[in-house]
């Protein structure tokens, strides 16, 4: 049974009997807004395809970003905005407190707890590339993880966001700053960590000086080494 089928079954039945740790590696990608996390993930999967025919380790990998949010939205116990989850929008503690007082429920807290639960399941299953969603903190004690951080200059990130989001320069700059702030708050509020701390990650890549194709080849080698060390 693949990742998606298991997760849908888990959400539908609240039954985790099939969630078995098979000892496969997984990758988390944390990134500054516009630093190319999705482009790198796609190139990792493409690089894996080149190795998959003769190596079972690289067969059956999946990418999880918006997919995690879609799975959370299938849970009838969770009420949230899909757009907010996809863009990783996160309210500050103050604004969330006011929202909770008005609605009588801690919607954001419950939703993110559910996201973190699913991220841990994905990491347990292995063969998953998890983008964002506090993956590095949710899985930091799990031995099969490879934790990547992507950074880049503001100018290059703004140009990327202008293209990806179809925004003007000033709009892209505001989007970048807002996204970075909300990701920092999420990590701080739930885990009391600083997302900019390099010690959270196995490796940090400067995307101004590296291509995603070259980094994908490096990460595939890291996966091979991780698999050898944890078996």
How many whole angstroms separate alpha carbon 227 and alpha carbon 145?
Answer: 10
Q: What is the pLDDT along the chain (231 residues), one digit of tens a residue?
A: 567 677 667 666 655 556 777 889 999 999 999 999 999 999 999 999 998 888 899 998 988 887 666 666 555 555 554 444 444 454 554 444 445 544 444 566 777 888 888 889 889 989 999 998 899 999 998 999 999 999 999 999 999 999 999 999 999 999 999 999 989 988 998 899 999 999 999 999 999 999 999 999 999 999 999 998 876
Which positions ≥6 away from 133 have C-beta within 8 Å? 65, 68, 88, 115, 116, 119
Q: What is the pLDDT of residue 227?
A: 93
Q: What is the pLDDT of residue 173?
A: 97
**Residues forming beta bridges with residue 40, ordered by sequence position:** none
Sheet strands (E) in 120-206: 128-131, 145-151, 203-206
Within a 10 A sphere around the Cβ of 202, how many other Cβ atoms? 16
**Residues forming beta bridges with residue 201, ordered by sequence position:** none
Return the SS3 of 221: helix
Q: Report DSSP letters for 67-100, one per residue.
A: HHHHHHHT-TT----HHHHHTT----HHHHHHHH
Q: What is the pLDDT of residue 103?
A: 47
How many whole angstroms separate alpha carbon 44 and alpha carbon 148?
Answer: 12
Sign of the Cα pseudo-torsion (187, 171, 129, 77, in order): positive
Q: What is the pLDDT of residue 70?
A: 64
CATH 3.40.50.300 fits 3-229, yes or no: yes
pTM for the model = 0.81
Q: What is the pLDDT of residue 202?
A: 96
Q: What is the pLDDT of residue 160?
A: 95
């Amino acid at each position: 049974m693949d990742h998606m089928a298991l997760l849908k079954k888990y959400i539908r039945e609240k039954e985790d009997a099939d969630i078995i740790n098979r000892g496969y590696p997984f990758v988390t990608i944390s990134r500054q807004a516009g630093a190319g996390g999705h482009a790198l993930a796609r190139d990792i999967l493409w690089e894996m395809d080149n190795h998959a025919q003769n190596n079972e380790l690289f067969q059956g990998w999946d990418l999880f970003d918006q997919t995690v949010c879609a799975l959370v939205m299938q849970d009838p116990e969770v009420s949230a905005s899909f757009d907010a989850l996809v863009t990783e929008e996160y309210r500050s503690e103050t604004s969330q407190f006011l929202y909770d007082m008005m609605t009588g429920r801690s919607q954001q807290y419950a939703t993110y707890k559910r996201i973190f639960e699913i991220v841990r399941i994905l990491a347990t299953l292995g063969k998953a590339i998890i983008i964002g969603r506090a993956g590095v903190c949710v899985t930091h004690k799990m031995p099969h993880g490879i934790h990547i951080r992507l950074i880049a200059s503001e100018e290059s990130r703004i140009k990327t966001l202008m293209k990806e989001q179809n925004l003007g320069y000033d709009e892209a700059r505001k989007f970048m700053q807002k996204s970075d702030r909300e990701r920092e708050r999420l990590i701080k509020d739930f885990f009391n960590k600083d997302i900019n701390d390099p010690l959270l990650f196995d490796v940090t890549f400067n995307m101004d000086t590296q291509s995603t194709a070259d980094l994908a080849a490096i990460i595939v080698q890291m996966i091979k080494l991780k698999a050898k060390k944890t078996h």
